[in-house]
Structure 1
Amino acid sequence: MSRFAVAKDCVLGSLETIVAELLQAKQKFRRKSLWNVRNPFRPGSKEEQMVVWLTGARRGAWKDFVSGDKGDAIDLVAFGLQGHVDDGTRMTALEWIEDRFGLRSMDKGRREQLAAEARAKLKAAEATDQKRRKTSIDRARKFFFACHPTVIGTPAAAYLSARNAPIERVPNLGRSLRYRRDCEYWRAEGKPRMPAMIAAMVDVAGKIGACHYTFLRPDGSDKAVVEKAKLMFPETSGLVIRLTNGPSGLSAEDAAAQGVSGICGLVEGIEDGLSAAIAAPDLRMWSCGSLSGFRSVPDHAAVSGWVVFKDNDWGKRQAQEQFDLAIARLKSFRKPVEVISMPADWGKDVNDAIRSGW
C-alpha cells in the first residue's frame, strides 16, 4: 500500500476524533450519517454550511457549500491544518498523519498490520451503521402506521385549508398523509408533544424509509411555534412523498404493472404539491421534502416525464448548484424534463403563487 493509502485508512479509523480536533467541531449538528461543522478559516461560518460524511463509501469526504471546497479524508486533514488544499498542504497532512499515528518509523509489516486493523475497524463501523439504519427505518414505518389513517377532519386538514390546499379537493389523493395528535417534538428540551401531519417518504418500490413531520398549532391554524416546524427522520436520500396518483388513480406500482405511465410533478413541500395537484390534476405529484431531496429522486416506470416546480428562494449559488445537478440527473433518465419557476411577485413557491391568486 502507498503512504497515502495507509494514512487515509488511519484517518478514516479515527475520523470523529480528527474532525473534532482540527475543525473544533461540536456535537450540536452531528448525525449518524454526517456531521455539519463550521469552517474555522472563514469568519462568520455556520455549522450548516460545511459537512463531513461519516458513513458508507463517502466516509471522510467533506464539502464547504459556501466556498465549494471539497475533498477526501487526506484533503480534510490538509484543510483542517492550513485552510486550503493543494499538493503542498496534502504532503503536510501526510506527514502530520504519519507522525500522529507513529507511521514514520514502522517497517512494512507493521504498516500493513495497521492498515488491516483500520480497514477492519471501518468495516465494523459500517456494519453497525447498517444495523442502526435498519432499526431507524423500522421505527419510522411502525410510527407511520400507528398514526390516524387520514388527515380529513383533523387539525392537519385545517392547516392545509389555511394554506389554500384543502385536502378534500385534491384529486386521486395517495395514502402518504396521516395525523398524530400527540407527536413528540424531539428538538426541544422536555420533548413536548403536539399535533403533527405525518407523511410517508418511500423508496422506488413504494416502501416507507422515513417520515416527514409538520408540527402544528392545536387548532391547525398554522405551523407550531417551534425552532423548526418541519423535520424528517431518519435519512431521506432516494425517498419521496407520493402525494397523488395522477389521472389514472393507480399507485405507481399498479400503474407500472399495467403499463400506464404519465407526467410526474416534483415539488419541495407538501403544501406546494397539494396546491399544484388541485390546479393540475393531470399530473402525478411527488414531494421531495427539501431541496437536497431533488438530488436523489428515483426514476420509475410509471413516470414518462417530469415537471419540476422550482421555488424562487433558491437564489444562493450553492442552492442553484444543487438544483442544476438535480435537473441534470433527472435528464439522465432520458425522459422529458420541464422546469417551472415561480416569478418573485407570485411568492416563493407554488403554494404562495396560488394563494396570491395567480
Structure 2
Amino acid sequence: MSRFSVAKAKILDELETILELLYRAERKHARTGLWNVVNPYRPGAKPEQMAVWLKGARRGAFKDFAGDVKGDAIDLVAFGLQGSIDDASRMAAVEWIEDRYGLKSMSPARREQIDRESQARRQAAEARDKRRRETSIGKARRFFFSCSERLIGTPADAYLASRNIEISKVPNLGRSLRFRADCEYWMLEGRPQIPAMVSAMVDAGGRIGACHYTFLKPDGSGKADVPKAKLMFPETTGLVIRLTNGTSGLPAEDAAAQGIAGPCGLLEGIEDGLSGAQAVPDLRMWAAGSLSGLLSVPDHPAVNAWIVFKDNDWGKRQAQQLFDRAIARLKSFGKPVEVVSMPADWGKDVNDAIRSGW
C-alpha cells in the first residue's frame, strides 16, 4: 500500500476534523451530503461557492464552483495547506498527514490492514450511496406523478402568463410540467406548503431522475417570496426537462424508434424554453435547469443538431468557461452545434427578449 493510499484513507477517516483545521467550515447539508467551506486563498470568497462531499464514493472530493479548483481528498489537504495543487503540494499534504497521525512508523502489516479496512469502507459507502440515490429518485418519481397534470387555471398558469407564456398555445407541449398546490418548501424551518410548478427532469432514456420546483405566490403573480424560489431534487447530473416535442409532436423515444430526428433547442430555464417554443415551434425545446446542468446534457438519437440559447447575465469569466466546456462536450457528439447569443439590451435570456418585443 502506497504512502498516498494510507494518507488518503486517513483523510477520509478524519475528514470533518481536517476541514475544521484547514478551512472555515460553514454548514453541512444532510440532504445533499455537502459541507460548505470558504476558499481561504480567494479574496471575497463566499461559503456557498465551495463545497466538500461528505458522503458516498465522493467523500473527500471538493470543488470551488466560482473558480476552477477541484480534486480528491489529497488535493483538498494540499490546497488547504498551500493554496495550490501540484506534485509538490500533494507530497506536502501526505507528509503533513503522516506527521499529524504518526503514519511513518507504521508497520507493513498495519498498512495492509488499513488498506483492507479502507477498501471495505469505500465499498460500503458506495453501496449506501447507491441505495440513497435509488431511494431519492424513487421519491422524486412518485412525487411528480402525485402532482396535477392540469395547469390551466392554476397559479402555474398565471405565473407563466405573467412571463408572456400562454401554456395552452405552446405547440407540441410535452408532459414534463405539473402543478402542486401544497408543495413542501424544505429550505425554511417548519417546511411550509407553497404552490409550485413541478417539472420532470429525465435521463437519456426518458426516465425521471429528479424534479425541478418553481415555488409561486398564491395567485401566481410571481415567484414565491422565499430564499430560493427554484430548487431541484435529488441530483440532476445527466438530466434535462423535455418541454416540447418539436415538429413531429412525438416524444423523443417514439421519434427515435421511427427514425425521426430533428434539431433541439437547449436553454437553462423553463420559461426560456417555453418562450422559445412559441417563437420557433419546429424545435424540440429542452431545459438544463441551470448553467452547470448544460455540462451533462445527454445525447439522443432523436436530436440531429443542437441550438444552444445563451443567457447573457453572467458577467463572470468562470461562467463563460463553464459554458465553453458545455459547448465543447455537445460538439463531441458529432452533431452540428449553434450558439445563439442575444444582445444585452434585449434582456438576460430568451424570455426577457421575447417579452421586450424583439
TM-score normalised according to structure 2 size: 0.95
> Secondary structure at 2:293's aligned position in 1?
helix
The structural deviation recorded for 1:53 is 3.6
SS at match of 2:218: coil
How far residue 222 of structure 1 moved from its aligned partner, in angstroms, is 0.6
Quick one: distance in 2 between partners of 1:338 and 1:55? 38
Q: Is the 8 A contact 2:239 2:298 kept in 1?
A: yes
Larger deviation, residues 115-124 vs 202-211 = 115-124
| Cα deviations by residue, 1:8-53 (Å, 9 ceiling, x for unpaired) | 2222344344334321313255653543321123342112222334
What is the aligned length? Answer: 358
Deviation at 1:87, TM superposition (A): 4.0
Partner of 1:62: 62
Matched, 1:147 2:147: yes
User: 2:4 matched to 1:4?
Assistant: yes
**Higher mean C-alpha displacement, 186-195 vs 56-65:** 56-65
Q: Give the equivalent residue in structure 2 for 1:123.
A: 123
3-state SS of paired residue (1:244): strand
1:310 aligns with 2:338: no
> Post-superposition shift, 1:191?
1.1
Letter in 1 for 2:232: M
Q: How far apart in 1 are the matches of 2:55 and 2:322?
A: 21
Aligned to 2:186: 186
Instruction: Measure, in 2, the Cα distance between the counterparts of 1:166 and 1:35.
Output: 41
1-structure distance, mates of 2:137, 2:18 = 29
Kindly state the Cα deviation for residue 257 of structure 1 after the two structures are TM-superposed: 0.6
Aligned residue in 1 for 2:339: 339
Listed one character per residue, the Cα deviations across residues 127-158 of structure 1 (whole Å, up to 9, x for unaligned) are 11111111111111111000111212211011
In structure 1, list runs of 5 or more residues that go unmatched: none
**Judging changes above 3 Å, is the alpha-carbon distance between structure 1 residues 342 and 31 closer, same or farther for their aligned structure 2 residues?**
farther
Shift of 1:179: 0.3
Aligned to 1:100: 100
Q: Is the 8 A contact 1:163 1:355 kept in 2?
A: yes
Task: Compute the displacement of 1:55 (Å).
Answer: 5.1
Q: Does 1:349 pair with 2:349?
A: yes
1:269-290 per-residue CA deviation (whole Å, 9 max, x = no partner) reads: 1000000000000000000000
Distance 1:341 1:30 in 2: 38
| Letter in structure 2 aligned against 1:5 | S
- Alpha-carbon RMSD across the aligned residues, in angstroms, is 1.7
Q: In structure 1, what is the Cα distance between the partners aligned to 2:66 and 2:201?
A: 29
Amino acid at match of 1:306: W
Partner of 2:253: 253
Q: Aligned-pair distance for 1:86? A: 4.0
Q: How far has the Cα of 1:292 moved from its partner?
A: 0.5
Aligned equivalents of 1:54 and 1:298: distance in 2? 27
Report percent identity of matched pairs.
71
Please show how residues 116-265 of structure 1 align to structure 2 within 5 Å. 116-265=116-265
For residues 66 and 230 of structure 1, the distance between their equivalents in structure 2, rounded to whole angstroms, comes to 20
Q: Say whether residues 1:50 and 2:50 are aligned partners.
A: yes
Distance 1:30 1:319 in 2: 27
Alpha-carbon shift at residue 259 of structure 1 (Å): 0.6
Secondary structure class of the residue paired with 1:249: coil
Relative to structure 1, the CA distance from residue 159 to residue 226 in structure 2 (aligned partners, 3 Å threshold; closer, same or farther) is same
Q: Partner amino acid for 1:51?
A: A
**Which residue of structure 1 aligns with residue 281 of structure 2?**
281
Ranges in structure 2 where 5+ consecutive residues have no aligned partner: none
SS in 2 for 1:189: coil
Please say if residues 30 and 36 of structure 1, whose CA atoms lie closer than 8 Å, have aligned partners that are also in contact.
Answer: no
Deviation track 1:147-181 (CA, whole Å, cap 9, x = no partner) reads: 11121221101110110111011001000000000
**Equivalent AA in structure 2 for residue 73 of structure 1:** A
Are the equivalent residues in 2 in contact too, given 1:13–1:122 (CA < 8 A)?
Answer: no
Q: Secondary structure at the match of 2:212?
A: strand
How far apart are 1:252 and its partner, in Å? 0.5
